[in-house]
Amino acid sequence: MNIRSALVSLPTIAYIALATGCAAPRATPSAGSTATANAVACFADADPMDGWNDRAPPQRIFGNTWYVGTCGISALLVTSPQGHVLVDAGTEKAAPLVEANIRALGFDPRDVKFIVGSHEHNDHAGGIAQLQRDTGATVLARAPAAVALERGNVDRTDPQFLIHQPMPATASVRRIDDGHVLELGSLRLSAHATPGHTPGGTSWTWRSCDDAGQCRDFAYVDSLSAIADDVFRYGDDAAHPGYLTAFRKTLDTVAILPCDVLVTPHPAASKLWNRIGPTAKQPLVAADACRNYAAVARKNLDARLAGEKSKATP
């Protein structure tokens, strides 16, 4: 089973909570994007596999938090006069697009001091190695993710091990623990261990303020979809001790995060393109967004476990 077939086999509810695609026009080829490519419009109704390498319009989400990713894969820039933090890096091919978006907003990529991420899959971490080289930034990750980033691939502890493709190895990753607070000038980004989609899954929260002094709590919440290859079973505690318990704890954690603004590694999972930009139809702020995101993921996980028991899924 490859990643595409794994996604197609998911029940409809999985797509809602899933970190899969966003939104590029279906006629726009993803593979042809380059650092000089013009940004394309991103739409909320695109195929889940579209837009991973299509440069999205860089834009302010709120205050000092900016979208610099692609249509299908999020990357956020949190800025301060003392330097910036890049949250997620996209695919290997998307790295120059992220850099181009940072420049388009008037920022210098060399002022990125830290790179942090959501989880250790190539669609979100494939660009980290190049971005680290180009910016000189320090990469932070929890231990399970750090090992995979430095190796350039996941191992059998990852539910998608057999369908995951390698990524460029990151030269050096500084290990952090659950609850770590990244401090840079006025910035304070808190790391929350949220394993489940991967062992190293991490969510990040911070407070973003605009020039008028209005502030919002941002929650960049990792993917919560229970996707696996043909071997891994979430309910097999003998093979994967404590994994399911940790996944359920993740859902509890996400439900109570400070969360005025939810953003997810795949923007479609949090309906981001319905909430930002000139065609936004829904409010950016939703006080119950993280709680609802976790609730849908819990139903998806329960459906996955039921499928495992009936042998309908691995």
Number of C-beta neighbours around residue 237 at 10 A: 12
How much is the average pLDDT of 44-60?
A: 82
Confidence (pLDDT) at 239:
96
Chain segment 184-237, per-residue pLDDT in tens = 999 999 999 999 999 999 999 999 999 999 999 999 999 999 999 999 999 999
pLDDT interval class at 280 (50, 70, 90): confident
Q: Where are the beta strands (DSSP E) in the chain?
A: 59-62, 65-67, 76-78, 84-87, 112-116, 138-142, 173-176, 181-184, 187-193, 202-209, 215-220, 261-263
How much is the average pLDDT of 77-104?
A: 98
Q: Is the pLDDT of residue 6 over 80?
A: no
Collapsing DSSP to helix, strand or coil, 243 comes out as helix
Q: Where are the alpha helices (DSSP H) in the chain?
A: 3-8, 12-17, 95-104, 122-125, 128-135, 143-151, 243-255, 289-310
Confidence (pLDDT) at 312:
57
Q: Is the pLDDT of residue 301 over 50?
A: yes
Q: Is the pLDDT of residue 8 over 50?
A: no
| Residue 126 neighbours by CB under 8 Å, 6+ apart | 89, 90, 91, 92, 93, 94, 95, 167, 168
- Torsion sign over Cα 110, 112, 116, 118: negative
- Torsion sign over Cα 258, 208, 269, 76: negative
Q: Is the pLDDT of residue 124 over 70?
A: yes
Q: Is the pLDDT of residue 261 over 60?
A: yes
Confidence (pLDDT) at 243:
98
Enter the pTM of the model. Answer: 0.87
Compute, in degrees rounded to 10, the torsion defined by CA atoms 101, 107, 111, 113. Answer: -50
pLDDT interval class at 44 (50, 70, 90): low
Strands 138-142 and 112-116, bridge-based pairing: parallel
Confidence (pLDDT) at 255:
98
d(CA 83, CA 183): 11
3.60.15.10, 1.10.760.10, 3.90.1150.10, 3.40.1160.10: CATH of 3-310: 3.60.15.10
Q: Is the pLDDT of residue 83 over 50?
A: yes
Confidence (pLDDT) at 12:
34
Report DSSP state, residue 28: S
Confidence (pLDDT) at 62:
97
pLDDT interval class at 31 (50, 70, 90): very low
Percent of the chain with pLDDT over 70: 84
Chain segment 140-161, per-residue pLDDT in tens = 999 999 999 999 999 999 999 9
d(CA 271, CA 284): 10
How much is the average pLDDT of 258-279?
A: 93
Please calculate the CA angle 271-112-131 and round it to the nearest 5 degrees: 80
